[in-house]
Structure 1
Amino acid sequence: MHTNIVTCTAPVNIAVIKYWGKKDEKLHIPLNSSLSASLDQKDLKTTTSVVAGTDFTEDELWLNGKKENVESKRIQNVLRLIREGSTVEWKDDPNYKLRIVSTNNFPTAAGLASSASGYCCLVYALAQLYGCRSDLSAIARLGSGSACRSMYGGWVAWEMGRDHESSVAVQVADEKHWPEVQILVCVVSDVQKHTSSSDGMQQSVRTSKLLADRAENIVPKRMEEMKQAILTRDFHTFADLTMKDSDSFHACCADTQPPIYYMNNVSHHIVSLVQSYNKKVGSNKVAYTYDAGPNAVLYIADEKHMVEMLKLLHIYFNPSEGVQRERPFFDNEYLLAKMSTLDEQSLVDGLQVEKRPDALKYILHTKPGPGPQISQDHLISL
């Protein structure tokens, strides 16, 4: 028996300039460039173990305990390119079969970019196993477009490019560049969304004139403005661009025929809370953004304003006592202690927002973090 094993972790990334739609479906070349932050893997990550061995009868892929189709075109494209760039002697030996086991510690397919961290982690783990020296972001892109952005930590741009070699991820700034930035993930729903991202993109490309205008006339300038805001740590501008781009993306979804609505009433309620709060404090200290799902991701200028927003989320989406929950509404004891010192009345004064008890399932706290990591905590026992 000849066996090799590698385990890696990879981050979720949340775009502040959105990717939506491809101009090349086969190569996953996007309509426009995009930009995201990779989130800290202490909080949100995919873990993938890959084993190559001669005692397996076939390749297998397991995701969150469920056997998936390893023969899918995306998986096979990734494997082919990894093997083409491989430096190990056994890369083409048909006796070596793969066992791939992957888990997420966050809701899958509910707008939290699970395919991005998943394909990034798969590609990174396979690359370590096979000794692949190709550009891994380009290979990850063939699995899931936004997966290329998870190949780096911190703030990452996916440059649109023209072909396979030029459509790659580039790090704008690492995770240590802007340490003050805080992130809250407000989980509204953790069930499968009705329209998948890939189906939604194709519908929008075919039917939305807004999408074409956004890609050609809005995003190129916005990308440059966003990079500059990040490099200069200008949070007010960063927040303004982030919220405008989220609104623009969802307007394109609504302009699609038939219309696609990923946000729900609770999502819009959080938007109102953020806008009211920013108006009250006199500048943008919180930015909302929504991917293809109802969950809000809030980028926040610093810990002070994050704790205030956390308190407001507890006030306006107050979790009822005695309600059965799969996980705590919020479980960071340090931040809960800081939150408890704030005066509720002074926080809510001037905010014109209706209370919606139990409308949120739970809240996660995180921050920008590093790219893929090698782990010794294997998911497969040999």
Structure 2
Amino acid sequence: MAETSSVRITCTAPVNIAIIKYWGKRDEELILPLNSSLSISLHQDQLKSTTTAVASPAFSEDKLWLNGQEKSVQESRLQALLHEVRRRAAKRPLEDVQREEEVVESVNSEHRLAPPSWHVHISSKNNFPTGAGLASSASGYACLAFTLAQLFGVRGELSGIARRGSGSACRSMYGGVVRWTHGEQADGADSIAVQVIPESYWPELRVFILVVSDLQKAVSSSEGMRRSVATSRLLQAGYTFDAGPNAFVLTTARDASKLLGLIAHFFPPQTSNSKRYIRGLPLTTDPPSLELQCALGFEPQPNALHYILCTRPGPGPQCIFDNEAHLLNIDGLPGN
């Protein structure tokens, strides 16, 4: 095997929004939920994480860049995910390893497997604000799990790997409507995600994201759930909120323009932000009638929203074969 070669791959993964939340964790280390949950994966044309991973025998350590900034790889959840990928990769069937050795010298060096003993350089970015309540950890860890699985040749069920990074990340391993199963086994082996219906099942479904703030949350989702589990008297009544301030509104394509007009009327943008106020899928704006405005009895609240994003259900993680999409060059450094 050529000891000077490296392997590079780039993948994307979607954000998901929980329709039924999992409320908190019964096991913090394995990230096992108190309850099963249900979510919708949103389309990557509007919201996605992109991850490039490069493995090489020349690397002396693992490295990570997040949104262009180098970060420590010692964070416990990241380490748990890396360990699980390498553990599974080390159990690859012998014929896979032999096939890897046969193709390692091929000219198509971008599409082969890396040995799990190689260190890896990782770069990840989001096309939306990170840590602002838009499920960046879900898409980020799902993308990382999927990318590393392709890099090291891990096959089969992958949502359990993504779960080790972030609980909700397991749901971003599939498109459409996804269920994360509570599971019964102590080791969490059966606490995995399954697709309930594909993204094509309800093509007219639309999702508005009302972004109140795109700044990082003062309280992380993980910490918010810990506090809920420890202090909430409503936890057994099934009532929880995420730690972020942003709202998700579900509607249909038929009603999207009317709803958008209603939201934009009562939550008008700053004049300087009007061109970027409505983002995502192209939509016309149908303002509410004067009768409806009066009936609602609600005064417009200027500048209450930062922007409105319109999207729809979308697919799960995907491999990207465009060289321009790589976040790291073949030497494992930022730049494609």
| TM superposition score category, shorter chain reference | 0.7 to 0.9
Counterpart in the other structure of 1:203: 227
Unmatched tracts of structure 1, length 5 or more:
219-247, 251-290
Counterpart in the other structure of 1:328: 276
Counterpart in the other structure of 1:50: 53
1:90-109 correspondence to structure 2 within 5 Å: 91-93=115-117, 96-109=118-131
Q: Is the CA contact 1:308–1:347 (under 8 Å) kept in the aligned structure 2?
A: no
Higher mean displacement: 126-135 or 84-93 = 84-93
Which of 128, 141, 146 is the matching residue for 2:168?
A: 146
Residue type of the alignment partner of 1:127: A
Q: Is the CA contact 1:4–1:53 (under 8 Å) kept in the aligned structure 2?
A: yes
Counterpart in the other structure of 1:131: 153
More helix by share: 1
Distance apart, 1:196 and its partner CA: 1.1
Q: Is the CA contact 2:24–2:228 (under 8 Å) kept in the aligned structure 1?
A: yes
Residue type of the alignment partner of 1:318: P
**Structure 2 CA distance for partners of 1:76 and 1:362, relative to 1, 3 Å:** same
Counterpart in the other structure of 1:278: none
Distance apart, 1:92 and its partner CA: 4.2
Q: Deviations over 1:26-80 (max 9, x none)?
A: 1111111110000000000000000001232321111111112212221111111
**Structure 2 CA distance for partners of 1:151 and 1:65, relative to 1, 3 Å:** same
Which of 331, 335, 339 is the matching residue for 2:285?
A: 339
What SS is found at the alignment partner of 1:339? Answer: coil
Q: Is the CA contact 1:85–1:134 (under 8 Å) kept in the aligned structure 2?
A: no
Residue type of the alignment partner of 1:296: A
Q: Is the CA contact 1:51–1:100 (under 8 Å) kept in the aligned structure 2?
A: yes
Distance apart, 1:324 and its partner CA: 5.3
Counterpart in the other structure of 1:365: 310
Q: Deviations over 1:193-215 (max 9, x none)?
A: 1111111222222222321x13x
Counterpart in the other structure of 2:250: 299
Counterpart in the other structure of 2:88: 85
Counterpart in the other structure of 2:326: 378
**Structure 2 CA distance for partners of 1:188 and 1:175, relative to 1, 3 Å:** same
Counterpart in the other structure of 1:268: none
What SS is found at the alignment partner of 1:379? Answer: coil
1:230-309 correspondence to structure 2 within 5 Å: 248-250=239-241, 291-300=242-251, 302-309=252-259
Counterpart in the other structure of 1:184: 208
Counterpart in the other structure of 2:73: 70
Q: Is the CA contact 2:281–2:311 (under 8 Å) kept in the aligned structure 1?
A: no
Distance apart, 1:109 and its partner CA: 0.7
Distance apart, 1:354 and its partner CA: 2.2
Q: Is the CA contact 2:221–2:244 (under 8 Å) kept in the aligned structure 1?
A: no
**Structure 2 CA distance for partners of 1:319 and 1:172, relative to 1, 3 Å:** same
- TM-score normalized by the length of structure 2: 0.85
Which of 296, 300, 321 is the matching residue for 1:355?
A: 300
Whole-angstrom distance in 1 between the partners of 2:226 and 2:68: 30
Distance apart, 1:128 and its partner CA: 0.3
**Structure 2 CA distance for partners of 1:197 and 1:367, relative to 1, 3 Å:** same
What SS is found at the alignment partner of 1:297? Answer: strand
Residue type of the alignment partner of 1:298: V
Counterpart in the other structure of 2:261: 311
**Structure 2 CA distance for partners of 1:152 and 1:60, relative to 1, 3 Å:** same
Unmatched tracts of structure 2, length 5 or more:
98-113, 331-336
Whole-angstrom distance in 2 between the partners of 1:359 and 1:182: 22
- TM-score normalized by the length of structure 1: 0.75
Whole-angstrom distance in 1 between the partners of 2:53 and 2:280: 32
**Structure 2 CA distance for partners of 1:334 and 1:344, relative to 1, 3 Å:** farther
Q: Deviations over 1:167-198 (max 9, x none)?
A: 01011100011111101111100111111111
Counterpart in the other structure of 1:116: 138
Distance apart, 1:347 and its partner CA: 4.6
Q: Is the CA contact 2:11–2:147 (under 8 Å) kept in the aligned structure 1?
A: yes
Q: Is the CA contact 1:153–1:174 (under 8 Å) kept in the aligned structure 2?
A: yes
What SS is found at the alignment partner of 1:140? Answer: helix
Q: Deviations over 1:113-167 (max 9, x none)?
A: 1000000000000000011024211111110000000000000010111232110
Whole-angstrom distance in 2 between the partners of 1:80 and 1:45: 24
What is the identity percentage for the equivalent residue pairs of Structure 1 and Structure 2? 49
